[in-house]
Homo-oligomer: A and B are copies of this chain.
């Protein structure tokens, strides 16, 4: 399956009108079935002898006993609100490991009192006005895929908390074919957006792992990292202008391809994680849909060589679309390479011209550092838009990438501790960061789980440094998974900060990364951010606790 070819992920398995799981990653009924879960558990028992891996059952919606809503919606806006248990439960958390575990166990201590689904921007304004006057907190909610506590409802002692789901603002309002840009409402999810653009031969080509369940507004608010592994990696670079509703009024920048008129007004909203206003729409830069592709899987016996080769490729200015370096374990698990192979997954694509040439040069640079490409590069043109052949390492890896979050729900059911974290650092710091993080997490895993593993891949690479993405798995103790994970995560975060990394390259800060973000961020920038918050949200009602203190 090509992630981008059909535009419908899991088109073969997704039930029509599927309903989102209120506690787990995706749609209900998708993911491993009972037989597959038992098979996974058996595999874990073999790998971690003496552990149970019993498959538990998630809490049932009908058994939840949520506290009664503390506030009532204003009469004029009542139609936009829901107090249904399904809605409140589903909007209590995002989709981090901590969130899924709590949801799975039915631990919903602070659900939103109400969930609002504003049908238009004026309702967003009216909701903020009401919330300001009624001392009600508002948590903007896009696709709900935050893995950092970004949409978790705070318990702040205010009159109440409303989760504001932007899902009804899901239209593409205008397409400017000449400039290749579109005005898009913030609540649209990835697949729906691509469905609208495809008939025009256009694409945003922003494919985070959460693509299926994340929204344009969420991508903008969290500086999402997408499809492009090099050069223009974050959603930031595809943003022409943004429109947001703040408690102080509407904030809208001018559509421009580039500008040097003062600090960028867009860059203040990009990464603002809902604390300054609710993004309602944006003009986004689009691409023509790629026609030519080339991909290759380059094998390295030594990880250090693979790292240097990856750096050589990106410093050569080749700008591959895909440039993911999987370490030995990760390659074996997700691309089936067997042991002893570090795998660099390379891809180039273009809507205009064949891309064999940059691929050949990239492979040449890899060869300079001991990289081999046993299956050769694969390329295709406009007439050859076929799915990858069975056994293809690149295709196998891509499928695993997109399906991974579904698998995690099953792992939670068997009390496995399974989570990812990511960072970025300059190349001169990478070896020490990689060693430091691996050592710290391995030690923490030993202490809290008795066993487990950590793997690393690069999701994005820059001329001045990589963005390493770590995956952790260990056997957990039923009922203690969250505190176990918190300990591992703290060890990882300390190692990242000590070795010059960022606490997040593209997962955002949310509430979970605050302790380390507070240390990484210039204190004077924190003060200006608080001043901006006081200006745009004087009552402090939107998403308090994210990025800065209320």
Contacts and interface: CB of A to CB of B under 8 A. Distances in A.
A421 to B, nearest CB: 13
Contacts of A178: 311, 426-428
Contacts of A176: 426-428
Interface string A489-516: 0000000000011111111110001000
Tally of this chain's copies: 2
B253 A424 contact: no
A462 interface: yes
Given A261-B513, A262-B273, A424-B259, A268 B525 contact: yes
A132 to B, nearest CB: 15
B267 A264 contact: yes
A345 interface: no
A350 to B, nearest CB: 6
Given A178-B427, A271-B263, A426-B176, A257 B464 contact: yes
Given A255-B500, A522-B252, A262 B529 contact: yes
A317 interface: yes
A527 interface: yes
Given A285-B463, A520-B261, A428 B529 contact: no
Interface string A239-275: 0100000101111111111111111110111111100
B521 A262 contact: yes
Interface in A177-211: 178-181
Interface of A: 176, 178-181, 222-225, 231-234, 240, 246, 248-265, 267-273, 285, 287-288, 311, 315-318, 350-353, 357, 361, 424-428, 460, 462-467, 500-509, 513, 517, 520-525, 527-529, 531-532, 534-536, 547
25 contacts: A179-B464, A180-B315, A181-B464, A223-B260, A225-B260, A234-B260, A253-B522, A257-B425, A257-B462, A257-B467, A258-B505, A260-B507, A261-B517, A261-B521, A262-B529, A262-B547, A263-B268, A263-B272, A264-B267, A264-B271, A265-B525, A268-B528, A353-B361, A524-B535, A528-B535
